[in-house]
Amino acid sequence: MKALLVGEYREGKLLESTYELVSFANAVGAEFEFFLVGSQDQLPQVEAKVHLADVTTAGEYNPALHKQLVLAAAEKAGADTIVFIHSSYGWDLAPRVAMALDAAQISEVIEADAEGYLRPACNAKLRRKVKSVTGKSVITLQAGAFNPVEPNGTPQAEALESAGDGNCEFLGYEQAEAGGVDLGKAEIVVSAGRGVGKPENVEMIQALANALGGEYGASRPVVDAGWAPHDRQVGTTGQVVAPKLYVACGISGAIQHLAGMKKSEFILAINTDKDAPIGEVADVLVVADVKQFAPALTEKLG
């Protein structure tokens, strides 16, 4: 397999997720080259060719133009597999590239080997394993599913000429209205998952967070159900946290949740299921009913 890895650059910086693409290429044993709309001073530090389009002319966001650039780089690289991160950039651009190449697109891949790709289905309750049967394929990777490799190579940049103007012009970013809590700053985060059972029980998690001197967070179903506000959500579509202590209460450990907290220094999980996937990242898994364990711990701390 020859892969073209589509790196990401935002607000003048190469994103760390770019190194997750290398981890994917290693998992499937692919040779790879990079594509980047970015700048010479922000190249991925990898031992590979980087097809570099200048961000000052191509803009950070211009999908029609970037599609042309990706296609040009893929041809130069002789790539049969084009790989994106499943981010706002990747999920917009990947289908355009797949259409142009008449290629299969396999999205939100969480594991891969030479046999095929694993992706979540049915709200992550199932996993599907699939492989492409077209000559070329387009893959998007679930953010956080592949551990980023250490940046320690020397890239060889090759300039890509701009392929026109595209059909929109990137004007800049606008900061979302600040508000709510910045969980990223908390040293201790105690999060409520669906296992807490009902909205009133989120207060029990808040009480434990208070007793520990931390903030409370939540998994997405808890937020979607309206039991906690969105600024408390941890995960790929919420906040990414790396506190000294993360307490996961009734949280199964879906990949999208793990992506938001797996870099925490110490992870304590409370779950009735001893085989819950959260156990794979937890330093300590307490097999217990959170409705009994959390208040008991709060009381001890008080």
Ligand X SMILES: Cc1cc2nc3c(=O)[nH]c(=O)nc-3n(C[C@H](O)[C@H](O)[C@H](O)COP(=O)(O)OP(=O)(O)OC[C@H]3O[C@@H](n4cnc5c(N)ncnc54)[C@H](O)[C@@H]3O)c2cc1C
Q: Which residues bind ligand X (CB under 6 A)?
A: 123-124, 193-195, 219-222, 233-238, 250-252, 254, 256-257, 260, 270-273, 276, 289-291
Q: Is 122 exposed, middle or buried (0-12, 13-18, 19+ CB in 10 A)?
A: exposed
Q: What is the C-alpha separation between 149 and 107, in angstroms, rounded?
A: 21
Q: Find where tokens 């679930």 sit.
A: 142
Phi, psi of 299 (to 5 degrees): -65, -45
Q: Which of 164/180 has CB closer to ligand X?
A: 180
Tell the smallest beta-carbon distance from residue 103 to ligand X (Å): 22
The C-alpha atoms of residue 108 and residue 113 are separated, in whole angstroms, by 15
Beta carbon nearer to ligand X, 158 or 231: 231
The residue (of 122 and 178) whose beta carbon lies closer to ligand X is 122
How far apart are alpha carbons 175 and 235 in whole angstroms? Answer: 20
- Please state the closest distance from residue 118 (CB atom) to ligand X, in A: 14
Instruction: Strand 31-38: give its sheet, edge to edge.
Output: 104-109, 137-141, 81-85, 2-6, 31-38, 49-54, 156-159
Residue nearest to ligand X (CB): 235
**What is the Rg, in whole angstroms, of the alpha carbon atoms belonging to the chain?**
21
CB of 28 to ligand X, least distance (A): 22
The nearest distance, CB 252 to ligand X, in angstroms, is 3
Which residue, 162 or 236, has its beta carbon nearer to ligand X? 236
For 12-48, the DSSP string reads TEE-TTHHHHHHHHHHHT-EEEEEEEE-GGG---SSS
Is residue 215 within 8 A of residue 247, CB to CB? The reply is: no
Smaller CB distance to ligand X: residue 22 or 205?
205
- Residue 280 beta carbon to ligand X: minimum distance, rounded to whole angstroms: 12
**Cβ-based nearer residue to ligand X, 1 or 127:** 127
Which secondary-structure segment (H or E) carries 63? helix 63-77
Minimum distance of ligand X from residue 48's CB (angstroms): 29
Nearer of residues 2 and 194 to ligand X, judged by Cβ: 194
Chain position carrying tokens 């961000």? 55
